[in-house]
Structures are given as C-alpha cells and as structure tokens.
A and B are shown apart, each in its own frame.
Chain A
C-alpha cells in the first residue's frame, strides 16, 4: 500500500521527522483559506501517486491569495498522468540552500534493508542511480540488529553531506529506519530533504510504501488504505480480496495465479489486443468469487470482451465449470462476450459442463486469447 504524501507526512511528523506546516484541501476555497492560515509563500501540491508531479503541472508555488486561488483552480479536478486530482496539500514553502535524498528500502537480492543517502536530491533518484551510481551512498543494515548509529553516520559522511548538518541528517535517517522497521514498510523515501539557510533539515516530500502482507499487524495504517486507493475499481477489488490492476485496454482478463494471468495479458498484447486489467482470482473458483470477478470486469466501461483462463490444479475443472455456469446464470444479461478456457485436472469434463449459450469455449490458451481479441475488436466497432 502506497500512502499519499499527506498521509506519509502525518506519519513522519508523529515520528519526529521535521515536515513543513501543511493542510489538506479538497475545494478551491479550502485551499485559499489554508494558504492564508499558513502564510505565503506556499506550495499547492496535487495529492496523486505519480512521479514527476511538478513537471506535469501538479505543483505550483504561490505568493498571495489571488495566485493561490488560480493555482487551486488549475490543480483541483485536473487530470494528472491519467489520475484525477481530488485533493491538494497546501504547504509552507521552504527556503532551502541544499537538497538531499535519504531513503530506506529492501534490497531483494541481498534479502536485507539498505539505507541510502545522496547529495543529489530534488531530482529523479532512479535516473541518478542509472547515470552515476557512485552518487548514492548505500549502507546495508543487518535485519537482526537494526540500524546502528554508526551506520547512519557512515552513510551520511560517505555521501559527502556538509559537516554542519551531518548530525541532523543522520538522526533523520535513524528515525526513518525505525519507522521502516516499526511500520513494516517496504520503502521510505524523502526527496528532497531540504537544508535551510539556518541549517535546519525539512522533509519536503515523503514516500512511504507499506507491505500489504503485514497490514494485519498495523490496524492504524490499514485504515488509510481506502483513502490511498487511486481508482474506484481498485477499491472494489480490495473489498473482494482480489489482486487487481486496472490498465487502459478493452480486453478484460480473469485468471488464477499471478504468472499465468500476466502471461494471458502478454498474449492479448501479442495477438494485437490491449489488456483492460490484471485480475487474479486465486485458488479454486467458487461461484461467488467468479461472480465477483465478472462483476469487477463488467464494471469497467472500457471492457469489450472477457477472457477467462483457469488452470485447475488441485481444483477440478468440472467444479470450476459449475462455478462459472452458476455465476453467469446469476446475471440477467451478460453484457459482453466471455471466452472460457479450462485446463488441467478434469478439464474435458469441465468443458462439457460449461453452458455454451452463455460463453464461448476454447481448448488452448492461444485460441482463447485470439478469440477474445477478435470479439473485443468487433464490439469496439
């Protein structure tokens, strides 16, 4: 789960990481009031989870009420890289002399956390990492012992942070690691960490990703999940307990197992179609889960046809087929054509059971995908 900037800054502030004064606003009037309260100059920042907000026009710096109103009118309701902006964070602008990068993430190759510090803050850190890996100082942390104070100092000094602020930056890094550890984060990042003329450090942005698999032991963070969801359909998927990712195409995809569902998406693309989504219904295929999955995919107005690809392993194909029939019979009218492909245990029995008045049955994965792409093209015309 990725927190919004305002959520992450709230968590940072509670942990003692300095952040600028800010207020969340969802209307233009609220934004102007917030700006007046905080005092100019302020930054008005779109609260959507996408990189490069500034360049895309999602962040504006304003000096008075008139400018604040204009900026809020521009940003609230805008479409930023495909995401609708509902809210802005109105935040005191920081007068900085230097911008750093600090972060903690999981190094999956080493299986252990790594703390990172760079003096090249304020720009896309992944570009810095690609062009000049030496510009980012990395310090691996033993997961059994956690970050030792010397490790935070080492990272900061080796990165070349100014001596005057090094102690404070190291302290921020330790707090971030503690937060990472306490909240089961997979990634925490401050970019930029601003250094003011007075030598204060301030987290001007905040990225925080929490491990979905650990939310069960963080009820306070789990509560933020609905607000963090970007898309109504993705929120619905959370409710149903599906792994779902919405994409921009028109071929709806339902399958079991992440690898096979990804492969189905890839084949849709390979045969000239465009996938509308990733939807993994997981093990088994009880009627209720099938119904919910179809409901999800049919709710996406972009979908013109659906391919249902189930590999019955331990779950038998005949049981899956019964589930699919039952689910389809619960719809008064099936809004889009559905192609089903069953494989694995008792697949033949399953294909005999499937109600061909309601679905098209194909034997191989390749044939099923091609048929769905064809249906989607016909429907789109």
Chain B
C-alpha cells in the first residue's frame, strides 16, 4: 500500500515539451511511472519519447484516461495550467513549478476548494512510492520500498532524511514533498491523515520549517487523531525574523512570535512527537518506533 500514487496512476505531464518537462518525464518513465500523455498548448499531435501530446489537459484526460497530472509549466503560466488541471478534472495534480506569484495561487486555491482534486505543491519535489511510481523530480535511486511515510516542506532536506533512512535499511511507503510556498494544496494534516489511513505505514517522519502555522496545526491533529507514531524535524532555528530563507513561505514575521521554530517544536513535543536536533536523530526516533 501507499498514498497518492502507485502503479495504477495514469499520468499526464503538463509542459512535457519544455527542457525540464522532457528531462523529468524520461526519469519518471525510467522509474516505472505510467506516463500516458503530455499536454502543451499548440503542440497537440506531437510525441515525446513516444508519448502522445495534446493541446489541452481535458483532451489528454479523455483520450488516455489520465487521472493524475504533473505540472512543469513556467511560473508566469502555471496558474493557468493549474486551473486547467482542476477543470479537467483529475484526481491528483502535482505542481513542481517554483515561483508562482502568491496572488495567482490565492485564486487557484479558491478554485481548488470547489473541486475534489488533490493538489500537491506548488514549489515541491513531488511524490514517490518507491518501487512503483514517482511524480516529479525526486531522485529515485535514494529511495527504498518499506513502511515509513515521509512528508516534508523541502526538497533536498527530504533527500537528506531519506538517504539516512535508506542507509540504515529503513524503506518508505510514500514520500510527499508538500512544497515551500505560503499557499499550498496538500498540507501536513492532509498528508498525515492519508498516512494514518494507510495500513502499511508504521511510522512517519515529518520535516517542517519556519513560517506559517501548518506544523502547529499538524501537532494538534497528531495529538487528537493519530495512532501511527511521528518523528519531526524543524529547519530554520537560527533564522532571523523578517528574512525570507529561500522558500517564499519560510519567513518568521517581524515582531510577533508566529512561525518560529521554537513554537513548532514546542507544539510537536506537546503532542508527543519527538523532534530531532539533527536529521540523524530523526532517523534514530523512527528506528525506535519500528
């Protein structure tokens, strides 16, 4: 078992003819992902590595029975691509694009609330179910199939923790990169709920970072509803207030205490979630759970 993606997912890649789209489609196919179509306006009728390209997502979904999309469309056009994916409709949309204007995402988010589609991202590395399929840009070779779920706001930090897990012989059910933007589709609570309902996931690693209150909400959720043990990590303990640490969402507000690493670590500890000082310590906790 797994969450979000598996062997049966039928994937359309939006932006498949661009440099990134083409490169990562090839990587996804090599990993075993069932990419059935591409969608690029004006490129209908072409093929990329034998994958048929359609002018619209709607057409790709109908012709090829696609239920999932991965979005590699550049930021200036990404909101349009997301509206199109939500309108198709699809079950799952994974938005890799980094740098989508916040006000564009605000409008997409409003539309999202009216649909049943699950959006992951934007500004995320994607989702992978090791041994089955990957959606996005995660390096497949560091993952190993197993029984630990992983959810993270950051790409390379995910890789770091996964690498530590795999090197200790601990495999993963699914890893979800939820993205580093202020407005995202799937948040920690959504991902944790899916893992809680997955019988194969025996423990969960959760990597948060400064900014927003998503981790605090996750802590409340874990305390109240979850049986599966969770270990946490919070990046940005040394970040000064008012400075954006790379991710648009990773910013501690000026004078107030919101969004700090301290408030997140306290909330998680209160919910019984141990928080590692280093990525290795997170893996120690996970090892202890299994």
Contact = CB atoms under 8 A, between A and B. Distances in A.
Contacts of A109: 212-214, 217
A226 B137 CA distance: 33
Contact of A262 (B105, B245, B248): B245
B110 A111 contact: yes
A247 to B, nearest CB: 7
Interface in A254-301: 255-263, 265-270, 275, 278, 280
Interface in A54-68: none
B245 A258 contact: yes
A211 B103 contact: yes
A344 interface: yes
A347 to B, nearest CB: 9
B247 interface: yes
Contacts of A259: 152-158, 180, 207, 209, 235, 246-247, 250
Contact of A213 (B23, B99, B110): B99
B278 interface: yes
B: interface residue count bin = 35 or more
Interface of A: 51, 106, 108-109, 111-113, 124, 126-127, 129-130, 142-144, 181, 184, 186, 211-214, 216-217, 243, 245, 247, 255-263, 265-270, 275, 278, 280, 311-314, 343-345, 364-366
27 contacts: A51-B254, A106-B183, A108-B249, A111-B105, A126-B253, A127-B256, A129-B256, A142-B110, A143-B107, A184-B103, A211-B101, A213-B101, A214-B104, A245-B245, A258-B209, A259-B153, A259-B180, A262-B157, A263-B233, A265-B238, A275-B238, A278-B246, A280-B246, A311-B163, A312-B139, A344-B139, A344-B163
B226 interface: no
Given A259-B152, A263-B279, A184 B27 contact: no
Interface in B227-275: 233, 235-240, 243-250, 253-257, 261
A40 B103 CA distance: 42
Interface of B: 23-24, 27, 75-76, 99-107, 109-110, 125, 137-139, 141-142, 152-160, 163, 180, 182-183, 207, 209-210, 212-214, 217, 233, 235-240, 243-250, 253-257, 261, 277-280
B154 A313 contact: no
Of the candidates A108, A217, A267, the one having the most CB atoms from chain B within 10 angstroms of its own CB is: A108
A106 B238 contact: no
A256 B105 CA distance: 25
Contacts, number: 182
Nearest to A52: B255
Contacts of B235: 259-260, 262-263, 266
A373 B76 CA distance: 41
Contacts of A213: 75, 99-102, 248
A211 B102 contact: yes
A108 B156 contact: no
Contact of A216 (B76, B138, B249, B254): B76
A130 B254 CA distance: 13
B255 A127 contact: yes
A111 B159 contact: no
B137 to A, nearest CB: 6
B99 A144 contact: no
A255 B157 CA distance: 11
